[in-house]
Every structure is written in structure tokens, then in C-alpha cells.
């Protein structure tokens, strides 16, 4: 028996990186999984691989930055699996620019993909859970940058801070209904996102490692295992929390 046997999971933005690792672990733990992404080829390939391995998995192409598409995704996932027990809000993009150069479009797109998608999906899923009496979980992918700042990632930082507050607010609102709401705050996990926005030079890598007491980047599997924990009965009394997995970055005062 897996830790998620019989559960029905929806992973928003799950065709690559951390989301993909979570989709794979959820399936391996016995859950049915619907996952979305804007990258069709990656999504179709992952769906095929999961099905060949004997899992029940569906890929749906959907843009997390468009609220109506997110609502339609939730409806389709409910239709395919008969309901949703576990929601993972994983969509996240980063616009790397100086504050003075940011456009309204940069701001709106980051907020829509990173924060509004989680709000919209959580609302649609919570309505479904309440109507169906489902005691489920909602987990969002936050970041250490919810509380720290990378100066050129302003819109990213504020959306992750917003996700932490969304998490705490929904945890309180939904606790009486047996729905637990938590977030994960990864440090530096070696994915395409990090290669594009953080690991842009050897000097940048060295700077990241100088602020990472464990001296290495994290692996996507190390985040997926927390997602399984938060979605499973192992965390049955945990709600409203952000679990940071950052190799020791947050406790470090790097001025000394």
C-alpha cells in the first residue's frame, strides 16, 4: 500500500521540474493524478510514461495564468477522477528585471501564474471538497523568497509571500471541514527555472553556495517527498505551515 492509495490528485504545472517529481511520487504512492502544463510535449510524454508504468494519470494542457482555464482544469480533473482529494499548486515563473524596468505585463503575468492560479484553483477545489464532504489537502509551492529577497526578482518574491498568506488564511477557513492547507518553501533546487534565473554564471553559483550551509543544491525528489508527507495522513495534524527545504539557508546570517 502506498501512502496515497485511493487518493485523487491534481497537480497544476506538473510536466517538468519539481512538479513532475511530485506527479511521479504521487502516482508511485498509489494516487490517481491529473496534471496540467503549458508544455504540451512534456505533458504528453509524462502521461505516456506513467501509464506504461501502470499508473492512472492524465495530462491536460492548461495555462495557470488564465483564471478561466484553471477553473476548467479543476472541473475536468473532477470529471476524470470522480473528485479531487489532493491539490498541489505548483505553477511558478520568474521575471528577472530591475524594479525600474518592470512593466505592468511582467507584474500581471507573474501574479496570475504564481499567485492567482493558486487562489483560483484552491477556491474551486475547496468548493468541490465542501460540497462532496471530501477531507482533502491543498499544498502550494512557495519559496525561501517568500521571506528573503532576490532584488531582481521582485514580482516573484511578492507572489511567494502572498502564497504564504493564502496558505495560512485558507488553513484557518477550511480547518473545520477537515481540509488541511500547507506550503513548501524550497531553497535552490536544480531545475530549468534555476538554470535560467539564478545559475547564470559561475560567480552566481558560488554566491548561492556561499549562502547554503549544506553546500549543495537540492534535488526535485527532496521536494516531492515533502509534498507526499503534506498530502498524506503522516501530516494529519499539520495545517497552515510552510515547510522550508533549503539546505540551511534561512537560519544563516551570512554577514558573519
| Min dist. Cβ of residue 178 to ligand NAD (A) | 26
Instruction: Please report, as residue ranges, which positions from 149 to 188 form the binding site for ligand NAD (by CB under 6 A).
Output: 186, 188
Q: Of 87, 90, 155, 212, which lies in the binding site for ligand NAD, with binding defined by CB under 6 A? A: 90
Task: Fill in the per-residue mask, 93 to 132: x = in contact with ligand NAD (CB under 6 A), - = not in contact.
Answer: x-------------------x-------------------
Residue from 50, 78, 118, 194 that binds ligand NAD (CB under 6 A)? 194
**Least Å distance between CB 168 and ligand NAD?**
18
Q: Number of residues in contact with ligand NAD, rule: CB under 6 A?
A: 28
C-alpha cell at 26: 504521487
* Residue among 30 and 209 whose Cβ is closer to ligand NAD: 209
Within 29-48, the residues that bind ligand NAD by CB under 6 A are 36-39, 42
- Which is the catalytic residue, given 119, 156, 244, 254? 156
What count of other Cβ atoms lies within 10 Å of the Cβ of residue 118?
Answer: 31
* Residue 60, beta-bridge partner list: 36
- CB of residue 191 vs ligand NAD: minimum separation in angstroms? 3
Pick from 191, 232, 239, 241 the residue near ligand NAD by CB under 6 A: 191
Is the Cβ of residue 188 or residue 232 nearer to ligand NAD in the bound state? 188
- Does position 87 interact with ligand NAD (CB under 6 A)? The reply is no
Which position among 67, 193, 209, 245 is part of the footprint of ligand NAD (CB under 6 A)?
A: 193
156 is catalytic: yes
Spatial strand order of the sheet with 180-186 comes to: 57-61, 32-37, 8-12, 86-89, 137-141, 180-186, 242-245
* Enzyme catalytic residues: 156
Residues that bind ligand NAD (CB under 6 A): 13, 15-19, 36-39, 42, 63-65, 90-93, 113, 141, 143, 186, 188-189, 191-194
Amino acid at each position: 500500500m502506498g501512502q496515497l492509495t485511493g487518493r485523487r490528485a491534481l497537480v497544476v504545472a506538473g510536466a517538468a521540474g519539481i512538479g513532475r517529481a511530485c506527479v511521479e511520487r504521487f502516482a508511485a504512492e498509489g494516487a490517481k493524478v491529473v496534471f496540467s502544463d503549458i508544455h504540451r510535449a512534456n505533458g504528453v510524454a509524462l502521461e505516456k510514461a506513467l501509464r506504461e508504468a501502470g499508473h492512472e494519470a492524465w495530462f491536460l494542457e492548461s495555462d495557470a495564468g488564465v483564471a478561466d482555464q484553471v477553473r476548467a482544469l479543476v472541473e475536468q480533473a473532477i470529471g476524470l477522477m470522480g473528485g479531487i482529494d489532493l491539490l498541489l499548486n505548483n505553477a511558478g515563473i520568474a521575471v528577472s528585471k530591475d524594479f525600474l524596468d518592470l512593466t505592468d505585463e511582467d507584474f500581471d503575468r507573474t501574479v496570475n501564474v504564481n499567485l492567482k492560479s493558486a487562489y483560483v484553483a484552491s477556491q474551486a477545489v475547496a468548493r468541490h471538497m465542501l460540497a462532496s464532504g471530501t477531507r482533502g489537502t491543498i499544498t502550494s509551492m512557495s519559496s525561501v523568497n517568500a521571506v528573503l529577497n532576490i532584488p531582481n526578482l521582485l514580482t516573484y518574491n511578492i507572489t511567494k509571500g502572498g502564497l504564504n498568506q493564502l496558505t495560512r488564511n485558507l488553513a484557518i477557513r477550511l480547518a473545520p471541514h477537515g481540509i488541511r492547507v500547507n506550503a513548501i518553501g524550497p531553497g535552490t533546487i536544480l531545475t530549468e527555472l534555476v538554470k535560467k534565473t539564478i545559475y547564470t554564471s559561475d560567480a552566481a553559483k558560488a554566491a548561492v553556495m556561499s549562502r547554503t550551509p549544506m553546500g549543495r543544491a537540492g534535488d526535485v525528489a527532496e521536494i516531492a517527498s515533502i509534498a507526499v508527507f503534506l498530502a498524506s495522513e503522516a501530516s494529519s495534524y499539520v495545517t497552515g505551515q510552510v515547510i522550508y527545504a533549503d539546505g540551511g539557508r534561512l537560519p544563516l546570517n551570512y554577514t558573519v
